[in-house]
């Protein structure tokens, strides 16, 4: 079951073995992931249950429930302001090993990098190799880079949302993650220059909680690995 892609579907829509896909889900499976009729993929309800599913012409069928020996029991999304150089490749490699299910690279106010269009294919290859290496069942999804301000409209499902901020008296992410139910988690790590105050305010308005990863100032790559490690236990 290596190299299968994953789709989170609201459990309300999963009462029977037939899944009617929304136009967005259809687009994602057929255009973004380029899956054809008959292709298999994994459906997750985001609460720890998953199924092997098969795509048909206009919809999909659930084939069988999956026992998930290595996946986290909840989707873990990492929003990452693109670090300079090839830093994002390191983020993808390590954070795939740690269980991230979706990467959303973003361009923030202080992002230094203009990503080249060729990068995305390479990122996908790195994620696939890291998923195989760490014996995961699913390959994380990687979005194409988008401006940070556009990210909030993509996040519609309920999730625990955290924005690590390097300075300030915020509660620690570790503390915030204690005793929580296995809900989806979304983390947003800033660029080398940090998030701007406006970006932090916008994130808070979108239900992100500002958190600390300790008193030291971590590089963006270290901060990503640290935050994801705390969330993936
Ligand atoms: N240049 C900035 C730091 C940026 S570090 C400054 O001096 O303030 C890059 C990103 O890593 C930050 O935007 C934040 O998301 C995360 N980060 C680094 N260290 C952190 C810490 N101690 N607590 C919380 N987040 C941290």
Query: pLDDT, tens digit, for every residue of 174-194?
Result: 999 998 888 899 999 999 999
pLDDT computed for residue 7 by the predictor: 81
Strand intervals (E) in 33-142: 40-44, 50-55, 60-66, 76-81, 102-107, 141-142
How far is the C-alpha of 136 from the C-alpha of 96, rounded, in Å?
A: 9
How confident is the prediction along the chain (233 residues), in pLDDT tens digits per residue?
456 787 877 765 666 788 888 888 888 888 888 889 999 998 877 666 788 999 988 788 999 988 766 888 889 999 999 998 899 999 999 999 999 999 999 999 999 877 777 898 899 899 988 988 888 878 899 999 999 999 999 987 789 999 999 998 999 999 999 988 888 999 999 999 999 999 999 999 999 999 999 999 999 999 999 999 999 97
What are the backbone dihedrals phi and psi of residue 91, each rounded to the nearest 5 degrees, phi first?
A: -60, -45
Ligand 1 close to Cβ of residue 216 (< 6 A): yes
- Measured between alpha carbons, how far is 129 from 127 in angstroms, rounded to an integer? 6
Q: Is 55 exposed, middle or buried (0-12, 13-18, 19+ CB in 10 A)?
A: buried
Would you give the DSSP letter of residue 137? S
Pocket lining: 217 vs ligand 1, CB cutoff 6 Å: yes
Give the pLDDT confidence score for residue 198 in this predicted structure.
Answer: 98
200 within ligand 1 shell (Cβ under 6 A): no
Tell me which residue has its CA closest to atom 3 in ligand 1: 194
Q: Give the per-residue pLDDT at 1.
A: 47
Q: Using most ligand atoms within 8 A of CB, pick from 80, 217, 221, 231 the residue to mutate for ligand 1.
A: 217
**pLDDT digit string, tens, across residues 68-77:** 668 888 899 9
Atom of ligand 1 nearest to the CA of 215: 22
* Per-residue model confidence (pLDDT) at position 188: 98
Q: In whole angstroms, what is the distance from residue 131 CA to residue 111 CA?
A: 27
Question: Is 79 touching ligand 1 by the criterion CB < 6 Å?
Answer: no
């Amino acid at each position: 079951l290596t190299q299968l892609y994953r789709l989170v579907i609201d459990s309300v829509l999963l009462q029977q073995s037939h899944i009617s896909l929304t136009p967005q889900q259809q687009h994602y499976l057929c255009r973004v992931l380029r899956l054809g009729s008959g292709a298999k993929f994994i459906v997750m309800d985001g609460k720890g249950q998953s199924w092997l599913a098969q795509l048909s012409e206009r919809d999909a069928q659930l084939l069988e429930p999956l026992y998930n020996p290595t996946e986290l029991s909840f989707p873990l999304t990492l929003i990452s302001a693109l670090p300079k150089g090839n830093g994002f490749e390191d983020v993808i490699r390590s954070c795939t090993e740690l269980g991230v299910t979706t990467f959303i690279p973003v361009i923030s106010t202080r992002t230094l990098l203009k990503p080249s269009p060729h990068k995305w294919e390479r990122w996908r290859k790195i994620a696939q190799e890291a998923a195989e290496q760490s014996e995961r069942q699913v390959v994380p999804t990687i979005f194409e880079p988008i401006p940070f301000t556009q990210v909030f409209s993509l996040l519609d499902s309920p999730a625990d949302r955290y924005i690590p901020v390097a300075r300030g008296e915020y509660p620690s992410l570790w503390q915030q993650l204690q005793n929580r139910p296995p809900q989806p988690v979304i983390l947003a790590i800033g660029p080398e220059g940090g998030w701007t105050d406006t970006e932090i305010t916008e994130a808070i308005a979108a239900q992100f909680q500002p958190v600390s990863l300790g008193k030291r100032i971590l590089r963006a790559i270290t901060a990503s690995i640290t935050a994801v490690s705390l969330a993936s236990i």
